[in-house]
Amino acid sequence: MREHDRLFIDGDWAAPAGTGTIEVVSPHTEQAVGRVPEGTEADIDAAVAAARRAFDHGPWPRMTPAERAAVLGRLADIYAERQQEMADLITEEMGSPILFSVFGQAAMAQMVLRYYADLAAGYAWEDERAGMLGPVTVTREPVGVVAAIYPWNVPQFTLMMKLAPALAAGCTVVAKPSPEAPLDAYVLAEWIREAGVPEGVVNIVPAGREVGAYLVAHPGVDKVAFTGSTAAGRAIGAVCGEKLRRVTLELGGKSAAIILEDADLAATVEGLKTASLMNNGEACAAQTRILAPRSRYDEVADALAAMVGGLAVGDPADYGTEIGPLVTRRQQDRVEGYIRIGQDEGAKIITGGLDRPHDRGWYVAPTVFAGVRNDMRIAREEIFGPVLALIPYEDEDDAVRIANDSDYGLGGSVWTADVDHGVEVARRIRTGSCGINLYVLDPNTPFGGFKDSGLGRELGPEGLEAYLEHKAIPRPS
């Protein structure tokens, strides 16, 4: 049992203003594994005030980029040395299979941190331009105090996509972890102190939605960076629009994996284990619509059912586990509700269904629906669990049409023996990223969505630019 009774504010552990607590329950054992204070509006006030002082008067934004990069580099080194500790903790608190926690949670967070440490050291923070009316210096300066609000499914990675570029830019941060998975943030806070990040630069307040909304609207905040549901993103975007506050929104997805006629089916189905079912299917970019040519539809259905039906479902701490439990009973109920919806809509379950694979824990059987139309709810709404919809298409143009016929536009993939042709198809898909014979997020490239999948981009130089303001300084010739 991991017990914490303080919040990380102004570089130290501060007593919370309230008496409420958040209990963290293992989705595998259904037993409590941790407890942290539940942040209040008064705690947000204290955290924002600390971040405001650190930005307005502290050393961090006034350091050279190279000095900030050195601090970020120390933090990245600490993270690399203790990555396993972080992976184990994330698996314990939210049920991610340990192999994914090692490589897709902790390692990716560390890579993002290292990437921005290196980028900050060599980035063009200002440039000289020969303006039409005279010389101009253009500088790039930190946007200010950042509210970083992030979800439970990949907590360190989604936080680091905000924290690392914000710190590299010279911003200060108030981070609000999800109440389902706040424990990993406490470990990170200790590493932040050890790395020598100045007081007030990073503040961490676990809390629920209402307190998160208070943070979004707080007058001391200059920018909001949010990862979560599209519904919550709309509400946050409305507040930021009214206040003319900078905002980045990484929201939901219903990504399509297009299997072309010439695809190697065995390799494709093996690749879809990760692309479609990463992190128990609790991933915004998961390829949960599988588009197969009608000429190979039955073949694809058999191969997909065999792969998904053969996945090892069980204790997420076991390195042989491929699918673990969902994060909460509420999420288990939600996903099973969608399985019922799929049945009611007339789709056919070809593996999985409503028989739970374990009596204890919030498990759902990995499920594949065949006979799915793209207008069904299971093809249009984000389920956020191990449920796949297999949709037939007539020809390549039809596949592109179906892939683009979605309110979302976050990820996608094309599976083919001809990589160059796969790239041509990917260019026609209206999504922020689309892999060929794989799906990965690279810290060096932008990640974000079209349409209802959000606003702005994280990762890559574009992710750093989201935390910068541009200033023009013209002068006489």
Structure tokens at 152: 């439970």
Q: How many CA atoms lie within 13 A of 341 on its CB side?
A: 17
- Give the burial string for 49-77 (b: 16+ CB within 10 Å, else e): bbbbbbbeebebbeeebeebbbbbbbbbb
Catalytic residue among 38, 250, 282, 458: 250
Between the CA of residue 153 and those of 132, 232, 275, 282, what are the distances in Å?
Answer: 50, 16, 16, 6
**CA-based nearest residue to 212, from 94, 47, 49, 50:** 47
Between the CA of residue 58 and those of 112, 198, 204, 310, 361, what are the distances in Å?
Answer: 25, 8, 18, 56, 47
Annotation says 284 is catalytic: yes
CB atoms within 10 A of CB 138: 16
Tokens 């037939």, located at residue: 392
Catalytic residue among 180, 284, 382, 458: 284
Its sign, for the CA torsion 350, 355, 358, 363, is positive
- Give the burial string for 113-123 (b: 16+ CB within 10 Å, else e): bbbbbbbbbeb
Query: Chain centroid to CA 182: how far?
Result: 15
Structure tokens at 422: 């796969």
* Residue length of the chain: 477
Helix (H) or strand (E) holding 404: helix 396-404
CB 135 within 8 A of CB 477: yes
- Alpha helices, H only, 196-228: 209-217
Q: Output DSSP code: residue 278.
A: G
CB atoms within 10 A of CB 340: 11
CB 33 within 8 A of CB 23: no
Between the CA of residue 411 and those of 253, 266, 440, 446, what are the distances in Å?
Answer: 7, 22, 10, 12
Annotation says 250 is catalytic: yes
Contacts of 130 (CB under 8 A, 6+ apart): 136
What is the rounded distance in angstroms from the CA atom of residue 433 to the CA atom of residue 209?
A: 29
Active site residues: 250, 284
